[in-house]
Structures are given as C-alpha cells and as structure tokens.
C-alpha cells in the first residue's frame, strides 16, 4: 500500500470535496477515488473467512434435534427416522455417517457449498446431495410446475450426455425434477 508523505490539510480536503460536488453526476467510483486519496492509497480487501468443515458432533446434534432425540440409541428406535430411511442401511459411528444423515435431513454443510466441477450444479454436488430447489434455483413456496420444467430444460442444455455432460448428473437432475413435480401434482 502506498503511503502518503504527509497528512492532507483541511483546505486541500475542502478543495477535493468542492471538486466532487461540482460534478453533474456523482458516481461510486468518484467517491471511492476520493476516499482512497484521503486514505493515502488503496484500501485493503479483507480475505474471505474460511468455512470450517462441519464436525461429527455438530452434525449429530442437528440430526438428533431434527428427530427430537437425545441419543443415537433413541434415534435408532425413532419411528419417524426409520420410516424416512425407508429400509436404507445406516451407521451411526463415523463422521461420514453423521454427515450423510445431516445432508439428507438438515442441509448441505456450509463447507460443501459453492463447489465447482462436473458434478456440481449451482455450487451443490448433485451426486452427493439431493437439493432440487437449490439446484433449480427456485423458491419451493412460489415455484410453479412450468418453472420447474423450464429450470430443468436449462440445466439439461448443459448437463445432457449428448451435450458433453455427465450421465449420472443428468439422471440425478431428472430424478429431482420428477420428485418435485410429483410433490406438486
């Protein structure tokens, strides 16, 4: 950062202000240039805070709270949990077990959002997370069936295997579309 050899005097600042005020239209860039002149150089840009991975403890706590349980033993006996798992085999011992349940019932962990790559749509890995509303970029409370179909068509233009997309991603998008339309219909 460049430093100014001396502080500006009040008359100098008043002249700069008068120059700004004399413009027909004052733009954001003008104000930023003025502020940088007063600052003595460009401003530091803060770095983005690093998002810490979700811990097994936090995932477990959220999943247990979702099913109104306090222990993993209670969760294993919870009828609502068993019904939603639909006979799917599950473990409750590793971090990945709890993260899988967190993704399924709570949300995509913060550290897994905004990813990029061939299996990511709108920052979400569609092979790992089933979040149709986020993937389609629609509001579940206001979206219409036509909007769902339109959002799917736009994504199909990119992710269809005939267009160079990944077949697994396209199948997952079809599954998301069909699930959402079934809920609406």
Question: Which tens digit of pLDDT belongs to each residue from 78-87?
Answer: 999 999 888 8
Which has more pLDDT, 170 or 42?
Answer: 170
State the pLDDT confidence band at 74, using cuts at 50, 70 and 90.
very high
Cα–Cα distance for residue pair 76/97, rounded to 1 Å: 13
The predicted pLDDT at position 2 comes to 54
State the pLDDT confidence band at 55, using cuts at 50, 70 and 90.
very high
pTM above 0.75, yes or no: no
Question: Which tens digit of pLDDT belongs to each residue from 119-155?
Answer: 999 988 998 888 898 899 999 889 999 999 999 999 9
115-184: which CATH number, 3.40.50.1100, 1.10.287.110, 1.10.287.1080, 3.10.20.30?
A: 1.10.287.110
Q: Where are the domains of the chain?
A: 1-46, 56-110, 115-184
The predicted pLDDT at position 5 comes to 56
Three-state secondary-structure class, residue 184:
helix
Q: What are the distances in angstroms from CA 144 to CA 46, 121, 138, 172, 177?
A: 40, 20, 9, 20, 12
């Amino acid at each position: 950062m460049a430093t100014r050899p001396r502080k500006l005097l009040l008359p100098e600042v008043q002249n700069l202000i008068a120059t700004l005020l004399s413009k027909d239209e004052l733009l954001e860039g003008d104000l930023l240039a003025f502020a940088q002149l007063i600052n003595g150089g460009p401003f530091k840009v803060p770095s983005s805070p690093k998002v810490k991975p979700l811990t097994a403890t936090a995932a477990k706590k959220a999943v247990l709270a979702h099913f109104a349980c306090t222990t993993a033993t209670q969760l294993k006996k919870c009828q609502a949990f068993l019904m939603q798992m639909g006979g799917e085999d599950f473990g409750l011992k590793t971090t990945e077990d709890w993260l899988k349940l967190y993704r399924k019932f709570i949300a995509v962990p913060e550290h897994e959002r905004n990813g990029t790559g061939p299996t990511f749509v709108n920052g979400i890995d569609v092979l790992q997370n089933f979040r149709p509303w986020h993937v389609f970029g629609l509001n579940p409370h206001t979206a219409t069936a036509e909007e769902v179909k339109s959002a799917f068509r736009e994504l199909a233009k990119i992710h269809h295997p005939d267009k160079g997309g990944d077949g697994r991603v396209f199948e997952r998008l079809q599954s998301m579309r069909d699930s959402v339309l079934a809920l609406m219909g």
